[in-house]
């Protein structure tokens, strides 16, 4: 979904996510009528990280709005790893729970990889489990991390067939960069994974038809790096220092937006671009997990 702006078209992730959530709501209602229960997502929050509390609250509201049952488990920061693993195992066995999400980051002293590994891969709606990463890498069906899958939805909505396009992914995290690159390869794009230490990064970006920026550095990608007409997906969300007289600095992406939209063919804003897609795809993954759990075919439109 695109909205007109000066220069590049604006890829409206908020509108796309709202439409996806509406479809999820319809299909969740149909699932509940057939299965006799709502799809269920368990969210585990350990500690009192302010950003994590906001995210968990937003996920709970989104679940309820979509007709998905939300089971919140809030644990103190001094929770032991054994206690957390025990909770994950109970959720693995709980027939009302289709998806499990352990909010990251965890407090110091808890092994994030051990916790992720304990989640049943078929309930791993975050797509972080090594089995789901392996499924993605060999083309098998599995859960894909929400942010890159949301980015791919926006790209296909904008461009249709990605075959033969030159794509650059800036960032190599297990959560965004690597799965994003794999999705683009699977869509028959020619893909380069770059990062902050890549030599001649600007020159590499300049040849790309698709740029996905997920490096975590505010406005690192400059406008003169962008190939005219390219599609730019900005995953970054960074808060700048506050200007004089203001309490909070403005939010910016990893791409210098004002410069880049004069060159690009289409670009996601920050905020309002990729961000809304992440929760929408989490709901989508939970609904898919519910259908698998109930032995039902996954409905179209997800």
Give catalytic residue positions. Answer: 59, 103, 126
* Nearest of 200, 234, 193 to residue 217 by alpha carbon: 234
Report helix angle 177-186 to 146-159, nearest 10. Answer: 40
CA 135 to chain centre: 18
* Nearest of 228, 281, 270 to residue 11 by alpha carbon: 270
Return all residues near 30 (Cβ < 8 A) that are at least 6 apart: 299
CA 156 to chain centre: 15
> What's the rounded Cα separation, in Å, for the pair 50 and 57?
11
Sign of CA dihedral 135, 177, 65, 23: negative
Q: What burial letters (b/e) apply to 9-18, b meaning 16+ CB within 10 Å?
A: bbbbbbebbe
Residues 99 and 286 sit within 8 Å (Cβ to Cβ): yes
Sheet strands side by side (includes 40-46) = 69-75, 40-46, 99-102
């Amino acid at each position: 979904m695109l909205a007109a702006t000066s220069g590049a078209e604006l890829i409206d992730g908020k509108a796309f996510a709202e439409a996806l959530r509406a479809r999820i709501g319809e299909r969740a209602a149909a699932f509940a009528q057939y299965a006799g229960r709502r799809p269920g997502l368990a969210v585990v929050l350990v500690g009192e990280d302010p950003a994590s509390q906001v995210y968990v609250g937003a996920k709970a509201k989104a679940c309820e709005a979509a007709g998905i049952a939300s089971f919140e488990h809030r644990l103190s920061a001094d929770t032991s790893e054994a206690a957390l693993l025990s909770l994950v195992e109970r959720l693995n066995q709980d027939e009302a729970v289709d998806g499990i999400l352990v909010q990251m980051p965890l407090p110091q002293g808890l092994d994030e990889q051990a916790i992720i590994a304990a989640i049943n891969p078929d309930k791993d709606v975050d797509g972080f489990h090594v089995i789901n990463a392996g499924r993605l890498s060999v083309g098998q069906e599995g859960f894909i991390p929400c942010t890159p899958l949301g980015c791919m939805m926006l790209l296909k909505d904008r461009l249709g067939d990605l075959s033969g396009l030159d794509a650059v992914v800036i960032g190599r995290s297990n959560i965004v960069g690597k799965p994003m690159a794999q999705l683009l390869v699977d869509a028959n794009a020619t893909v380069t994974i770059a990062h902050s230490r890549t030599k001649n990064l600007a020159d590499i970006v300049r040849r790309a038809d698709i740029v996905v920026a997920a490096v975590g550095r505010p406005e690192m990608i400059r406008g003169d790096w962008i190939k005219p007409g390219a599609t730019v997906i900005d995953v970054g969300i960074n808060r700048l220092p506050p200007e004089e007289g203001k309490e909070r600095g403005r939010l910016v992406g990893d791409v210098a937006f004002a410069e880049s939209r004069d060159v690009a063919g289409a670009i996601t804003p920050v905020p309002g671009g990729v961000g809304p897609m992440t929760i929408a795809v989490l709901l989508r993954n939970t609904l898919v997990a519910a259908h698998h759990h109930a032995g039902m075919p996954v409905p179209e439109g997800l």
